[in-house]
Amino acid sequence: MTQINHSIEVNLSGQTALVTGASQGIGKAIALSLGASGAKVACLARNAEKLEATVGEIQSAGGTAMVIPCDATDSEAAQAAVEKVVADWGQLDILVNNAGITRDNLLPRMSDEEWDAVILTNLRSVFLFTRAATHPMMRAKRGRIVNISSVSGLMGNPGQSNYSASKAGIIGFTQTVARELASKRRQITVNAICPGFIASEMTEALGSALDDMVKQKIPLGRLGQPEEVAQAVLYLASDSGAYITGQVLTVDGGLTA
């Protein structure tokens, strides 16, 4: 597996961040990178045990983090999570909406439950946490919101009508909210990142079939690493990204080029 070093030098000292879906994969890599850059990181997911592992790594590296077990689709839980971060740390500077699931099936066989579960987790959670986060960010007259979409929201993918719809919805939501929150007196940026095929336990299980797909469709000829998505988040969350809002950054090795 390709090893990616933490190479972007970003100083987020004194800032606080909240990352949904921080227990594994891309979300965990994002939380670790934010922590390594000096931010205090609130790590959210349903699985408290896995969150403890993420927080433990941040703390072992000298950072500050907290565990917030949370159902990201629950409106009251989302509001309470944001309020806890502000109560404990005084502010919320960075929100990364990463929580997501898949329930793949071809459309004729897709159940109501498979559709609803994906739309709720992947899209409703983005709405709930963004709405909750805008209040402390508007009071502070500053904020960075980064939503994790997918190339599936740009180009579609057979068997993933629910997932593609949710990720396309994130893009439309991002562009609209960016316009709503972009004013001289607010200074809140809202952007989306669309990862392509990123190395994970799921992709490892696909074996040689995935290798063939990578060689045929991805110009760079390899899977992306979670840390590469995390570094894109760091840039958008930093002062260097202050004049970037309403944009969709694709991190896919050239797949959609």
Under 8 Å CB-to-CB from 241, ≥6 apart: which residues? 144, 189, 191, 235
Catalytic residue among 163, 232, 237, 252: 163
Q: Which residue has the tokens 């907290």?
A: 66
CA distance 158 to 9: 39
Question: What would the two tokens of residue 191 be?
Answer: 């952007």
Q: For residues 171 and 4, give the distance between their C-alpha atoms in angstroms, rounded to a whole number.
A: 27
Q: Is 163 a catalytic residue?
A: yes
Cα(57)–Cα(201) distance, integer angstroms: 19
Phi, psi of 254 (to 5 degrees): 95, 5
Distance CA 34, CA 15 (A): 10
Point out which residues pair with 105 in neighbouring strands.
160
Helices and strands counted in the chain (H then E) = 10, 7
Distance CA 156, CA 167 (A): 10
Q: Which residues are catalytic?
A: 163
